[in-house]
Amino acid sequence: MQIISLLKRFYFLKRRLIYHKYKRVVPLNEMLTDRWEKAKFLRFGKESSIYDSSIVIGEVDVGENTWIGPFTILDGSGGLSIGSNCSISAGVQIYTHNSVDWAISGGKKEYRKAPTKIGNNCYIGPNSVIATGVILGDRCIVGANSLVNNSFSEDSKIAGNPARLIGNNE
């Protein structure tokens, strides 16, 4: 019982410190971990960070100074590359494989895998899904809740389900 009491005291103290410093309240696991250390462990580029609640599968290459928000899924089983100076918002899912053919064939066919690439200086809005094999050029903006199942060139502003071009960054 004493250890529970100590853990609670630690939790309340740490929560108060984080709130006063950053004006935010985060889950306990985020209080105990370091986003930059996790990124370094994963061999992401210098000054990149990734939340503890993020799931990383397979080969994921991330450039410098990229922020990967909480509750994201980065599936690198088919090869995933994310450039430098990107913002990958909360809840984003980026895939490099799917199991559609496998499922409908009763497990007889292989999973489909294809590399997915996010260029430099991109913003991916909250809860967006980037499908297998998609390539986004540099400086792309993806609106919140978008399903990106086609590739887009640099400076594209895209949004929707499925995502479509809605403008450019010039």
Domain residue extents for the chain = 1-32, 34-168
pTM: 0.92
Distance CA 55, CA 67 (A): 14
Is CATH 2.160.10.10 the right assignment for the domain spanning 34-168?
A: yes
3-state secondary structure of 149: coil
Q: What is the pLDDT along the chain (170 residues), one digit of tens a residue?
A: 699 999 899 999 999 999 999 998 988 888 889 999 999 999 999 999 999 999 999 999 999 999 999 999 999 999 999 999 999 999 999 999 999 999 999 999 999 999 999 999 999 999 999 999 999 999 999 999 999 999 999 999 999 999 999 999 87
Print the SS3 string covering 76-134.
Answer: EEEEEEECCCCEECCCCEECCEECHHHHHCCCCCCCEECCEEECCCCEECCCCEECCCC
